[in-house]
Amino acid sequence: MSDRNRVLLVDDEAPMREAIGQWLDLAGFEVETHGHAKPAMGVITSDYTGIVVTDLKMEGVDGMALLSYAQEIDPDLPVVMITGHGDIQIAVEAMRLGAYDFVEKPFEPERFLDIVRRASEKRRLILDNRRLRRTTIEPQLGSRIIGVSRAAETLRTQVAELAATDVSVVIYGETGAGKDLVARSLHDLGRRSKGNYVAINCAAIPETMAESEFFGHDAGAFTGALKTRPGRIEHASGGTLFLDEIDSMPLAMQGKLLRALQERQIERLGSNQSIAVDFRPIAASKIDLKEAQTHNRFRPDLYYRLCVAEIVVPPLRQRRDDILLLFDYFAAFAAKAHQRDVRSPSAAMSDKLVRHDWPGNIRELRNAAERYALGLHRTASAQVEAMQSQTLADQVDAFEKATIEQCLMESGGRIHVVIEKLGIPRRTLTDKMARFGLDRKRYADADEQKSANENESSGGKPPVA
């Protein structure tokens, strides 16, 4: 029997459940029945090949709650509501919220089966379209997520599958592993690609400014608010909101974000008017958010609202087959941008590159490749060799110094550009520059040359994974 004819039936009245189940079975459907909504929730996934039929009024979790849950998992999953007499108004509200259709008790079996058949056909077409989109998405990912390792292939497959849906996603990975690239790929290759992609580094926004940044404000809402300013959430409506380092978000702000996700409405500071918003939330974290809940650092309700699907971006040390390929790519890109000859690393250097653990992941590798392409006084080979003899703390310091130095050089010493690019608070950057002995004035003269190089370069920003 075809998977496309599956029906998940939920009704807490056993006689009704058995009767409907028999009708569906005789009509050729594969039926799975449940007397309560909670066990049925475990069956629903973004790639569930059937439809959901549920009674509206049930003890415990009712049909409206089940509809809401199904909408979070997959907004395109057809849900047919069974209602009693007098529940028409609620059924109409359910359809406004995304239900496929409703049928009022008592109902004729043929009318009910006609609704189920049409819903099943819609589901089949949706899944066929997704499969077609995945076949077009995966080739595009090959030029974004570069690599031949099994880890890279798995990552491309996950991104392709989730890009074809609209579910919220949490991306886990170490610093520099490429979480931002994965989030951007989910947006660019998804149904919201024509909308805005709004990225927020939650760790870089001062707590006193967070509410204004997320929700915006009206003129006069606070001292210095001279004009109305839409917030990041409002700007992301119709597109994607990427919440990087969401584990750093204060608990009070987590509660306000949860309300916006639940209600799909916001209010600007200083305003009583609700604004409808429709965006896809994607979050990224270096730590396990489940573990953060146990230490009262992350709200469980926000976690379950965001974490419909998870993607784990592997560190570079787990993708050793990709290291040389990525190094060559970044070195060639840098050589072209800076009008230098492309040079392949020696066998000895290649061996050292592969054996290095790369605590800074892709970001560190790209930095080393660019320095190698520029032929700076410390070649990438010498840098790697020196780092291998250092402690982990020393390696991290060396990487941070090199990264900040590179950004200062590329930005012509403009601190605000470095802050935005690295996603760190100004005080943190200032402290690190003082510790590493970096003076922005030393890099100011490089600004003119940088602009010339950018104008002459024909390529865009290279992928980072």
Q: Range with the lowest mean pLDDT among 267-276, 401-410, 444-453?
A: 444-453
Residue 447 pLDDT grade (very low, low, confident, very high; cuts 50, 70, 90): very low
Smallest Cα–Cα separation from 373: which of 332, 412, 405, 404?
332
Q: Range with the lowest mean pLDDT among 74-78, 315-319, 415-419, 455-459?
A: 455-459
How does pLDDT run across 417-429, given as a tens digit for each residue?
A: 889 888 889 889 9
How does pLDDT run across 341-353, given as a tens digit for each residue?
A: 888 888 888 999 9
Instruction: Indicate whether 254 pLDDT > 50.
Output: yes
- Over the chain, what is the mean pLDDT? 87
Smallest Cα–Cα separation from 9: which of 82, 76, 59?
82
Note the pLDDT of residue 308: 87
Note the pLDDT of residue 385: 60
Three-state DSSP string of the chain: CCHHHEEEEECCCHHHHHHHHHHHHHCCCEEEEECCHHHHHCCCCCCCCCEEEEECCCCCCCHHHHHHHHHHHCCCCCEEEEECCCCHHHHHHHHHCCCCEEEECCCCHHHHHHHHHHHHHHHHHHHHHHHHHHHHHHHHHCCCCCCCCHHHHHHHHHHHHHHCCCCCEEEECCCCCCHHHHHHHHHHCCCCCCCCEEEEECCCCCHHHHHHHHHEECCCCCCCCCCCEECHHHHHCCCEEEEECHHHCCHHHHHHHHHHHHHCEECCECCCCCEECCCEEEEEECCCHHHHHHCCCCCHHHHHHHCCEEEECCCHHHCHHHHHHHHHHHHHHHHHHCCCCCCCCCHHHHHHHHHCCCCCHHHHHHHHHHHHHHCCCCCHHHHHHHHHCCCHHHHHHHHHHHHHHHHHHHHCCCHHHHHHHHCCCHHHHHHHHHHHCCCHHHHHHHHHHHHHHHHHCCCCCCCCC
Note the pLDDT of residue 118: 92
Note the pLDDT of residue 387: 59
Q: What angle do CA 243, 245, 248 make, to 5 degrees?
A: 110
Residue 452 pLDDT grade (very low, low, confident, very high; cuts 50, 70, 90): very low
Show the domains of the chain with their CATH numbers: 3-131 (3.40.50.2300), 145-314 (3.40.50.300), 317-456 (no CATH)
Residues 383 and 340: beta-carbon distance below 8 Å: no
Instruction: Indicate whether 448 pLDDT > 80.
Output: no
Instruction: Give the β-pairing of 30-34 and 6-10.
Output: parallel
How does pLDDT run across 100-138, given as a tens digit for each residue?
A: 999 988 888 999 999 999 999 999 888 887 887 777 777
Note the pLDDT of residue 377: 40
Instruction: Indicate whether 446 pLDDT > 70.
Output: no
Instruction: Indicate whether 266 pLDDT > 70.
Output: yes
Instruction: Indicate whether 459 pLDDT > 60.
Output: no
Smallest Cα–Cα separation from 119: which of 3, 254, 262, 4?
4
Residue type, 456: E
Burial class (CB in 10 A: 0-12, 13-18, 19+), 445: exposed
How does pLDDT run across 364-418, given as a tens digit for each residue?
A: 999 999 888 887 745 455 556 665 666 777 778 888 888 898 888 777 788 988 8
What pTM, to 2 d.p., does this model score? 0.64
Residue 434: which residues within 8 A CB-CB, separation 6 or more?
none
How does pLDDT run across 277-336, given as a tens digit for each residue?
A: 999 999 999 999 988 988 889 999 999 899 989 999 999 999 999 999 999 999 999 888
CA separation for the pair 214, 200 (Å, rounded): 9
Residue 338 pLDDT grade (very low, low, confident, very high; cuts 50, 70, 90): confident
